[in-house]
Structure 1
Amino acid sequence: MNKSLYPFILFLALGAGCAPKPTLQGSGNTSQLPAKASNLSEAAPKYAATITAADLSKHLHILASDEYEGRDTGQKGQKMAAAYIAKEFKEDGLVGPVKNSSTSPYYQTFDLEKSAWGEGHITVGSRKFMMQQDFFVVGSSPYQTEETAEVVFAGHGIDAPKYSDYTNLNVKDKMVVVLAGEPRASNGNYLVSGTSKASDWGNDPRTKRNAAMKHGAKSILVVTGTNAAEFNELTERLKSHGKRPTIGLKSETNGQANTGMLYVSPALGAALLNTTPEKLFAYRPAANGKPSTNAFSSAKNVKVKTTRDIQALPTENVLGFIEGTDKKDEIVVITAHYDHVGVNEDLPGDKIFNGANDDGSGTVAVIEMAEAFAQAKKDGVGPRRSMLFMTVTAEEKGLLGSEYYSNNPVFPLANTVANINIDMIGRMDKKYERTKDSNYIYVIGADKLSSELHQINEQANQQYVKLKLDYTFNDENDPNRFYYRSDHYNFAKHRIPIIFYFNGVHDDYHQPSDEVDKILFDSAEKVSRLAFYTAWEIANREERLKVDSNKQ
């Protein structure tokens, strides 16, 4: 799991076409007639029972071994893991659905960018502000050589139907300065939502970047923190990351250059707008609740340079497909990320981050669920809807593998019914470790977009598994913001219902000590079976899941 405390620091690298529909080939029973609903319901426990602690352990002892070198994105161990997962999918009878792949139909290959910062500064008149000190570029750089920038203020950078900072504002090819967060009305409610609940405009900075890109901006500068100390605290991780190469999506998508995103200090933000930090943070929308983007007079003599040395880093998502029967055009996607953080040669002793829990545990659950559904198909009780089992790469680099898939789906997102995501199962967090209670799972996101998905999971658990379903992290006010921090979010942002299974964080998180011998495989088995039963119901019910909630 990518575990940043601040949502806007989470996404350190910032990024839908539709490929032809695959057909199933050589996967046992190819009948397109569905089994009777009663037969499908009765068959579920038989195939759930094939998901065992022993099999989960067998796979994880391989994927989280030292031989796989921590499965770092683009490196030898990640490639070995991809090959292992693809082999398991093929042997179980799943089809590789990626057309015209140059390597394997089980691989969705793409290039990330591995890059390192060089010289960088922004000058405002005679004042010079330094990159990695006064500002940080997140993702790709639009200013490889020094150039003059035209600055424009765009309030909070929001472009929503009821409230837009871009109304009558020309930002094409300009440097857009915006405030973090989102504005409130005089009654304390947020202007966008009209309630006390913040929206994605305040939670996910990519939303602001995407809005700026839609309007043709060259860059968007988010003023971060309200003073120098707060800016330094909030950007501490960015400062650390800036000292070493980073990985992100390619800087161009479908031929259009991405808008650059920078987090800037209050002093720099104020200088760009010819004001003081105090006056800048006193900005409020007009009394009628409309933006007042002409509140400041932008600086004129602004030059910027942010050089970055870039090289391609090939990687791959691994996909296995089972074609459905009478509802085969609708797709249920099961995900886990199979990458981890590799090796740190500077450490004494154990240098390999094997990532048994994060997220080897979710990866092997996906492998076992795929085998169970494939066997059901061979036995004539295959799913009505098609199933896509996908282990994604580069989650640890900023949810990049799942973001790439959501931008370049193998199956139309409009046909994607739900995403079930599994990240870090088979351990206890500190809360449950105190009572040695492993019979629980945190459930996140099931009710955010679909009330039916929440009910299906509850019913499956009550009928078959009987775990304690803990919704602590599903609370919209929970400061951990886990809903935004694993791969399911790249489906949820497209309004695809998701459910996220997670056992919580522990002291071995992102440490070499995240080893297989600490996994509680009986617990992982129960969670994997719950995910299976939930997926089975979604795949075989008569009606597609309704998207009837908006609790994000």
Structure 2
Amino acid sequence: MKIILLCGLLALAQALPAVAQQKPLVKVKTKTKTKATASTPAAPDWAQTYAATIRPEELRAHLTVVASDAFLGREAGQPGQKLAAEYLVKEFAALGLQGPVTGSDNPYLQHFLLTRGSHAAGGYLQAGGQRYEWLSDFFSYGPMLSTFPTETVSQPVFVGFGVEQGAYSDYAGLDVQGKDVVAIMGEPQDERGRKLLKPNGRAADYWDSGLRKAVLAKAKGARSIFLMTFAPAEAFRKQGAAFTASLREPAFGLTTPGPAIVDTVREDLPAGIGVYLTSQELGLKLAGTTLPGLLEYARALGRAGKPVRPSFQPPAITIHLPQPQEQLTTENVLGYLEGTDKKDEVLVISSHYDHLGVKNDTIYNGADDDGSGTVAVLALAKAFAQAKAEGHGPRRSILFIAMTAEEEGLFGSEYYTAYPVVPLANTIADLNIDMVGRTDRKHSARRHFVNIVGSDKLSSELHRINETANRTYTKLELDYRYNVPNEPEHIYYRSDHYNFARRKIPVIFYTTGEHADYHKATDDVEKIEFDKLAERAQLVFHTAWELVNREQRVVIDSNKP
């Protein structure tokens, strides 16, 4: 570097006379060059340009239609949901999005069937010569399709506490495929009353959950599980009375379910298996033992420190839980925006457009749940479609999906991820928007915030991209209260993104949480904060813009579901 500098100075010294003669000219050149550099315009920030097209007034115009009485609460499979689907199809088509569904009467609609079961009285179970009544001696966790719509004879299998962790398995050596299993509530303990199964990173009460035992039983292939409580018959009846009203609500299930996915994490009623709580009396009868016999079994297990073979055998049972069932057709609405050089990779942007319909002659309009997310998706679709029309379209493709039947059990997203229109291997992420138009009970109305859920569960890179987008553009308060381990409300498992996440597709769930009008007929348009709704949608846009235009797709480097 020093030698080059010396040569340059010598050359400059030799040229000085010539330079001196042209001194004014040199000054002019210098000024011109400086002026030209200073006036060079900065490159446009197209992300900011198109995010600005997401405006409160357009969101209001869409939501005034989507959450109107004319759509009758948009209940899956009902006329109001069909009207809402027609509106979304029209809007997607007007934006120039493609309908990507093949084999459908409408390429924007992905039809599928739901089974709807209605409550019927008269359910019973007979065991050991005694009859036990539905909603008196046993009941389910929640509304569910009947496992025994016709009278059925069964030979149950006793599976101890119904748990499996590491080398400990109550299912070892047992064939429960298509059978009905009987399990004790609680966890196995040693002779000093200490739990045999160590937490190993799980919650201390992990196996106290009957739902987790049900998920495991389903994974083992069981048709149903009877969970034995230690409540005597009378106390059990009083406990069950609190569930009676909800158990008479309609139950739903996918008529054509996708391939089974073993999921031992989600704290929710698993589909495809009957889950029943029993009184102590019925539970002992199902196991084929007495209370002293059951206690001796538990003590023997504690002494051994591992599962032991019981000395008792469940008797054959007869069970009938009548339930009228009907088939309903419902639809996901899909709009596809093709990318440029990376068009085979696809980002999904989703919301659910269904709600609770009409109850007792009252329309549940669901303006926030999830009318707010639905109109945000429309605004995002418009922003990206305009960018493409003006020559600034995304490198990767974007699939906008308005899901149906989320309220009934995330069925729209479960069906889509089982039968995707774009291979899941090509799906880089799902940005899901559900309830983003209000301020929840945990924040003051002055705060501009959004809850971020799941962003770091599978991809730390996705998490950073969202945070950078917010820091650069929207500057919202990002609240991660629903993203912590063992979060008590289980928000991560309660919207459509979860069906993508459990198939190892990175997700972000944007929400503002529950408020005083959640799942009430008072969730109406006039309560929506449209300025905040626009800000939250703009954050989704900026994150999406980076995801579809960056060189590499986000990397999956974590697994914390």
The interval holding the TM-score normalised by the smaller chain is 0.7 to 0.9
Residue 327 of structure 2 corresponds to 312
Residue 447 of structure 1 aligns to a residue in which SS?
Answer: coil
With over 3 angstroms needed to count, the CA separation of the structure-2 counterparts of 1:364 and 1:232, relative to structure 1, is: farther
Deviation of the 1:293 alpha carbon? 6.4
Q: How far apart in 2 are the matches of 1:227 and 1:425?
A: 45
Q: How far apart in 2 are the matches of 1:313 and 1:143?
A: 21
Q: 2:274 aligned with 1:261, yes or no?
A: yes
Q: 2:69 aligned with 1:54, yes or no?
A: no
Residue 392 of structure 1 corresponds to 403
Q: Deviations over 1:242-276 (max 9, x none)?
A: 32433322276689xx8531221242333211345
Q: 2:422 aligned with 1:411, yes or no?
A: yes
Instruction: Give the one of 83, 108, 117 matched to 2:110.
Output: 108
Q: How far apart in 1 are the matches of 2:235 and 2:108?
A: 46
Q: Deviations over 1:407-450 (max 9, x none)?
A: 222222222221111111121112223xx224011111111222
Residue 431 of structure 2 aligns to a residue in which SS?
Answer: strand
Residue 93 of structure 1 corresponds to 96
Alignment of structure 1 residues 26-425 onto 2, 5 Å: 42-101=45-104, 103-118=105-120, 119-137=122-140, 139-155=144-160, 157=162, 164-179=169-184, 191=197, 194-197=200-203, 205=211, 211-213=216-218, 215-223=220-228, 238-250=243-255, 259-267=272-280, 268-275=282-289, 279=294, 283=298, 292=307, 294-295=309-310, 297-345=312-360, 351-425=362-436
Deviation of the 1:221 alpha carbon? 2.8
Q: How far apart in 2 are the matches of 1:361 and 1:281?
A: 57
Q: How far apart in 1 are the matches of 2:113 and 2:474?
A: 41
Retained in 1: the 8 A contact 2:355–2:366?
Answer: yes
Retained in 1: the 8 A contact 2:332–2:402?
Answer: yes
Instruction: Give the one of 470, 477, 483 matched to 1:474.
Output: 483
Q: How far apart in 1 are the matches of 2:462 and 2:290?
A: 49
Q: 2:454 aligned with 1:445, yes or no?
A: yes
Deviation of the 1:123 alpha carbon? 1.5
Q: How far apart in 1 are the matches of 2:340 and 2:186?
A: 46
Deviation of the 1:538 alpha carbon? 1.8
**In terms of Rg, which structure is larger?**
2
Retained in 2: the 8 A contact 1:125–1:302?
Answer: yes
With over 3 angstroms needed to count, the CA separation of the structure-2 counterparts of 1:397 and 1:462, relative to structure 1, is: same
Q: Deviations over 1:99-150 (max 9, x none)?
A: 000x311111011112123332111213322223333355333323222211
Q: Deviations over 1:505-538 (max 9, x none)?
A: 1111112211111100000001001111111222
Retained in 2: the 8 A contact 1:153–1:293?
Answer: no
Residue 141 of structure 1 aligns to a residue in which SS?
Answer: coil
With over 3 angstroms needed to count, the CA separation of the structure-2 counterparts of 1:91 and 1:240, relative to structure 1, is: same
Identity of aligned residues (%): 45
Q: How far apart in 2 are the matches of 1:314 and 1:453?
A: 35
With over 3 angstroms needed to count, the CA separation of the structure-2 counterparts of 1:549 and 1:80, relative to structure 1, is: same
Q: How far apart in 1 are the matches of 2:76 and 2:523?
A: 18
Q: Deviations over 1:390-415 (max 9, x none)?
A: 11111111212112222222222222
Q: How far apart in 1 are the matches of 2:549 and 2:528?
A: 32
Residue 543 of structure 2 aligns to a residue in which SS?
Answer: helix
Residue 59 of structure 2 aligns to a residue in which SS?
Answer: helix
2:375 alignment partner AA: V
Deviation of the 1:290 alpha carbon? 7.7
Residue 267 of structure 2 corresponds to none
Residue 70 of structure 1 aligns to a residue in which SS?
Answer: helix
Instruction: Give the one of 530, 535, 557 matched to 1:548.
Output: 557
Q: How far apart in 2 are the matches of 1:401 and 1:192?
A: 37
Q: TM-score, normalised by structure 1?
A: 0.82
Retained in 1: the 8 A contact 2:145–2:252?
Answer: no
Retained in 2: the 8 A contact 1:189–1:197?
Answer: no
Q: How far apart in 1 are the matches of 2:189 and 2:387?
A: 53
Q: How far apart in 1 are the matches of 2:449 and 2:59?
A: 18
Gaps of 5+ in 2: 1-41, 261-270
With over 3 angstroms needed to count, the CA separation of the structure-2 counterparts of 1:156 and 1:549, relative to structure 1, is: farther
Retained in 2: the 8 A contact 1:226–1:281?
Answer: no
With over 3 angstroms needed to count, the CA separation of the structure-2 counterparts of 1:142 and 1:293, relative to structure 1, is: farther
Q: How far apart in 2 are the matches of 1:247 and 1:431?
A: 32
Retained in 2: the 8 A contact 1:438–1:523?
Answer: no
Residue 512 of structure 1 corresponds to 521
Ranked by relative contact order (alpha carbons within 8 Å, sequence separation 6 or more), the top structure is: 1
Q: TM-score, normalised by structure 2?
A: 0.81
Q: How far apart in 2 are the matches of 1:41 and 1:181?
A: 62
Q: How far apart in 2 are the matches of 1:533 and 1:293?
A: 57
Of 89-98 and 531-540, deviating more is 531-540
Q: How far apart in 2 are the matches of 1:336 and 1:162?
A: 41
Residue 27 of structure 1 corresponds to none
Q: How far apart in 2 are the matches of 1:338 and 1:535?
A: 20
Q: Deviations over 1:327-359 (max 9, x none)?
A: 32222111111011112235xxxx211110111
Retained in 2: the 8 A contact 1:69–1:352?
Answer: yes
Retained in 2: the 8 A contact 1:331–1:415?
Answer: yes
Gaps of 5+ in 1: 1-38
Retained in 2: the 8 A contact 1:488–1:499?
Answer: yes
Residue 13 of structure 2 corresponds to none
2:85 alignment partner AA: A
Retained in 2: the 8 A contact 1:220–1:259?
Answer: no
Alignment of structure 1 residues 454-465 onto 2, 5 Å: 454-465=463-474
Residue 528 of structure 1 aligns to a residue in which SS?
Answer: helix
Retained in 2: the 8 A contact 1:427–1:438?
Answer: no
Q: How far apart in 2 are the matches of 1:308 and 1:210?
A: 23
Q: How far apart in 1 are the matches of 2:308 and 2:394?
A: 53
Q: How far apart in 2 are the matches of 1:247 and 1:219?
A: 17
Q: CA RMSD in A?
A: 3.4
Q: Deviations over 1:353-407 (max 9, x none)?
A: 1110111001000111111122222223222222111111111112121122222
1:221 alignment partner AA: F
With over 3 angstroms needed to count, the CA separation of the structure-2 counterparts of 1:326 and 1:284, relative to structure 1, is: farther
1:315 alignment partner AA: T
1:59 alignment partner AA: H
Residue 532 of structure 1 corresponds to 541
Q: How far apart in 1 are the matches of 2:521 and 2:45?
A: 43
